[in-house]
A and B are shown apart, each in its own frame.
Chain A
Amino acid sequence: MSQVKLKKFLLRYYPPGIILQYERDGVMKQKPVDLLDLGPGVDIEALCSQVIKQEPLVSENRRPALRQLMGRLLEKMAETQHHSFSLFKLWDVETGMERASLLGHKAEIVSLNFNTTGDLIITGSFDHDSRIWDVRTGRCVHTLSGHRGEVSSTQFNHAGKDEPCFHGAGACVNAPLCLQVCTCTLVLAPLCLQGAHACVNAPLCLQVCKCTLVLAPLCLQVCKCTLVLAPLCLHGACVCVCVCVCVCGHTDEVLDVAFDAAGSSFVSASADGTARLYNTNTGVCAHTLIGHEGEISKVAYNPQGTRVITASSDKTSRIWDTQTGECLQILEGHQDEIFSCAFNYEGDFIITGSKDNTCRIWKAATATSQLLHEHAVASRGTTGML
């Protein structure tokens, strides 16, 4: 007579069922039990009895375990099938209520930003697209496609004012190991870009200038649209083909980009451990910020545009002078790599978020002072990673 002993219940969600793991003569085996009839309204007790009756492995004293497993299967079935990353929600800051769900992306959204007036949002997604959304209606105003890889970072520039012109930047992987950051210029109203004869059909029509990117294998480029060649009308929106001026620099993937408040310069951060400051109009690299011993995953300007902060996998953040490109201070203290960093609105506080599950708030004496003192270490649970 062989020895049979039930060892474990395993749960199988799709199709709903329980897998019995048992030992026969010292060998582990599995037997699936289908529970296809399980659904809301089904008598769980009756179903338990049925399983106990049919399966010699399952005895009456296993009933509570069975009941629990079926409960979990029912819970899973009640979950909506559409738990994709393709939506993100818009929350009202004052009421804390959900205002809208913005649907459209087909993969994880990894980047999101408001414009300065707060009426538009730009998102970047793993589905290779960027989208611009109207905050008020929750509708997608425009889809910026063209990238051949994940869009890891998107930014509006903050030029603002009455100028109905903004920039969106996205990073794109075009060839294996080649990542490019391009800045696309979007024109919101009949307005010419550097002498271009833009044909806009209706006011508030979005004009998308597509970048033609110059590709060089293993070369990382920051591209900027400078010239609009010929406007083509397409589906009522004008698509212009631009010539890019490519400024090579980084030797590895570009992971983040940021404009300064005026929109006149931008900074890129790369896995090669450097950040670079560029003039938006000329595309000339003003400074290369060298010092980090690991990749830089995040960069940010202070509101005054005088400082840049970088967050790196070498567990430090660094503050840089945008005029001279010098490293003013190294913020040390995190136990693990730093993923995120930001200035507050006044530019006198810095917050960093790390894989070590902590955020740290750093105080700057004044936005222009050269020394920053670590003020407080706020370990607040699991705020770190994503």
Chain B
Amino acid sequence: MGLLSLIRSLKKKEGEARILVLGLDNAGKTTILKCLSEEDITTITPTQGFNIKSLTRDGFNLKIWDIGGQKSIRPYWRNYFDATDALVYVIDSFDRKRIVESGSELDIILEEEKMKGVPLIVFANKQDLVGAMSADEIADELNLVAIRDRPWQIQACSAKEGSGLTEGMEWLMKMLK
């Protein structure tokens, strides 16, 4: 292995991807993470700091970073932007009051230089609740159609029931390949 390949290997391992999971507090980021790694989701508390999970999917080693979404920790999100291959943004579809706040946090992330061109999947979580906003409604609210600098997708899901997550991850894997 020569110098160039050495530098390259330091940068990124083949078949490895770093996925960042962000969203407001109580959106269900940790629940989605636990659901994906088939862990118990009955006792989830607000995330202090962050959780990391390593998953293998289609031969890909996914390093998933779930960063807490409380207002006090949001300023630290940007410390995790480096070398991100895909962004998962989770939204509480039942929380109509904070959809605008959620949208503006997303806008800030997308404007970051380090997140330039990083594929985005928005999980419209908590679809199991009656009165939850639909994926279309949320897409409108966040004006996702205006995103032209990266591939993006919105996926309705319920982490509690485990629905929609597989579809979303499939799209994500397609982007990573």
Contact = CB atoms under 8 A, between A and B. Distances in A.
A313 B79 contact: no
B131 interface: no
A385 B7 CA distance: 11
Interface in A20-58: 32-34, 36
B48 A32 contact: yes
B72 A14 contact: no
B59 interface: no
B129 interface: no
A17 B48 contact: yes
Contact of B73 (A15, A297, A313): A15
A36 B80 CA distance: 17
B8 A313 contact: no
A36 B73 contact: yes
Nearest to A269: B2
B2 A15 contact: no
B7 A313 contact: no
Please tell me the size bucket of the interface on B.
Answer: 10 to 19
A326 interface: no
A15 B4 contact: no
A34 B48 contact: yes
A255 interface: yes
A337 B5 CA distance: 13
Contacts of B113: 106
Counting chain A CB atoms within 10 Å of each CB, the highest count among B1, B4, B79 belongs to: B4
Interface string A288-307: 00000001011000000000
Nearest to B82: A84
A328 interface: no
A150 B68 CA distance: 34
B79 A13 contact: yes
B3 interface: yes
B11 interface: yes
B2 A255 contact: yes
Given A32-B48, A34-B48, A297-B2, A110 B7 contact: yes
A110 B8 CA distance: 11
Interface string B53-95: 0000000000000001000110110111000000000000000
Contact of A255 (B4, B48, B76): B4
A251 to B, nearest CB: 16
A322 interface: no
B49 interface: yes
A19 B2 CA distance: 38
Given A36-B72, A81-B79, A17 B1 contact: no
Contacts of A150: 4, 8
A15 B1 contact: no
B8 A297 contact: no
A321 interface: no
Given A255-B2, A255-B4, A337-B2, A126 B48 contact: no
Interface string A97-128: 00000000010101000000000000000100
A363 interface: no
A295 B5 CA distance: 11
B8 A15 contact: no
A298 B3 CA distance: 9
Contacts of B5: 271
Nearest to B68: A15
Contacts of A313: 1-2
B73 to A, nearest CB: 5
Given A126-B11, A150-B8, A297 B76 contact: no
A12 interface: yes
A339 interface: yes
B79 A14 contact: yes
A265 interface: no
A239 B80 CA distance: 39
A297 B2 CA distance: 6
A152 interface: yes
Interface string B1-18: 111110110010000000
27 contacts: A14-B79, A14-B80, A15-B68, A15-B73, A15-B75, A15-B76, A17-B48, A17-B49, A19-B49, A32-B48, A32-B49, A36-B72, A81-B78, A108-B7, A108-B11, A110-B4, A126-B7, A126-B11, A152-B4, A255-B2, A255-B3, A297-B2, A297-B4, A313-B2, A339-B2, A340-B3, A386-B3
Interface of B: 1-5, 7-8, 11, 48-49, 68, 72-73, 75-76, 78-80, 113
Given A32-B48, A255-B3, A298-B3, 9 more contacts: A12-B49, A14-B79, A15-B75, A34-B48, A110-B4, A152-B4, A255-B4, A295-B2, A340-B3
